[in-house]
């Protein structure tokens, strides 16, 4: 009986050793984010390896399925204690089962770590003080959108896909600009950040196939 317990203990210890080669430090689980929030994803090498790069993914269903945030993130070191960060914009995907996964892509065995669940809110709490003054046309379009505010604004306009990946960013002046998106048809999200770097507007835009 003692031998069985010892074997089980050794097996369990080996399991945790194999699955603790990289540690996700942030998010830690339990956080509540709004769409458009900037989150610094942070992870740390626990055991040195012949590291190639990193793969980062997002799940909105507690890990049942995964969507790629970024593949082949360059290595900044491969020794234990090395910390790596990635700036992620929270997508417009309301869920209480959001998770982040980091994969340590090695020349031999790969390892990963996954956050506990965190929450992404529906965006109802976002400040949309400029939404009534925004003219966005045409929407849908084949990729060219004109945006214009009735009230003067200065700041940054971004367009991101539904995973939060940046596909366009530019400074808006004189309250109007034209956006040309070379992107596949689908749903995207336009964000306006004021000069104070606060998110003031989120707007859904649609790119339709060219007929």
**Best CATH choice for the domain 21-120 from the list 3.30.365.10, 1.20.1340.10, 2.60.120.330, 2.70.50.50:** 2.70.50.50
Question: Which two structure tokens, joined as six digits, stand for 71?
Answer: 């593949």
Q: What residues does 39 pair with on adjacent strands?
A: 88
Same fold, 21-120 and 131-207: no
Residue, of 121 and 1, whose pLDDT is higher: 121
What sign for the dihedral angle of Cα 111, 115, 117, 119? negative
Rounded alpha-carbon distances, angstroms, from residue 30 to 36, 69, 132, 154, 181? 18, 20, 34, 35, 35
Distance CA 114, CA 95 (A): 17
pTM for this predicted structure: 0.60
User: Mean pLDDT, to the nearest integer, of 5-24?
Assistant: 56
Q: How confident is the model at residue 132 (pLDDT cuts 50, 70, 90)?
A: low
Residue spans per domain, the chain:
21-120, 131-207
CATH numeric code, 131-207 = 2.60.40.3080
Distance CA 90, CA 39 (A): 7
Q: How many CB atoms lie within 10 A of CB 22?
A: 23
Using one digit for the tens of pLDDT, what is the confidence trace for 53-91? Answer: 999 999 999 999 999 999 999 988 899 999 999 999 898
**What confidence score (pLDDT) does residue 14 get?**
40
Q: N- to C-terminal Cα distance for the chain?
A: 72
């Amino acid at each position: 009986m003692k031998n069985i317990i010892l074997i089980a203990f050794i097996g369990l210890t080996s399991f945790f050793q194999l699955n603790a080669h990289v540690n996700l430090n942030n998010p830690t689980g339990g956080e509540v984010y709004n769409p458009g929030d900037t989150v610094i994803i942070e992870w740390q090498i626990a055991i040195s390896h012949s590291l190639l790069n990193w793969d980062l993914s997002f799940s909105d269903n507690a890990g049942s399925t995964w969507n790629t945030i970024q593949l082949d993130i360059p290595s900044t070191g491969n020794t234990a204690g090395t910390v790596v960060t990635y700036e992620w914009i929270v997508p417009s995907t309301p869920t209480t089962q959001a998770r982040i996964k980091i994969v340590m892509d090695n020349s031999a065995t790969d390892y990963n770590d996954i956050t506990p669940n965190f929450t992404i809110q529906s965006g109802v709490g976002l400040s949309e003080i400029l939404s009534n003054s925004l003219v966005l046309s045409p929407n849908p379009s084949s990729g060219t959108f004109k945006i214009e505010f009735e009230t003067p604004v200065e700041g940054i306009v971004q367009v991101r896909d539904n995973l939060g990946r940046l596909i366009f960013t530019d400074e808006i002046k004189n309250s109007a600009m034209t956006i040309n998106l070379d992107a596949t048809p689908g749903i995207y999200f336009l964000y306006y950040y004021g000069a104070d770097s606060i998110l003031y507007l989120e707007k859904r835009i649609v790119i339709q196939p060219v007929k």
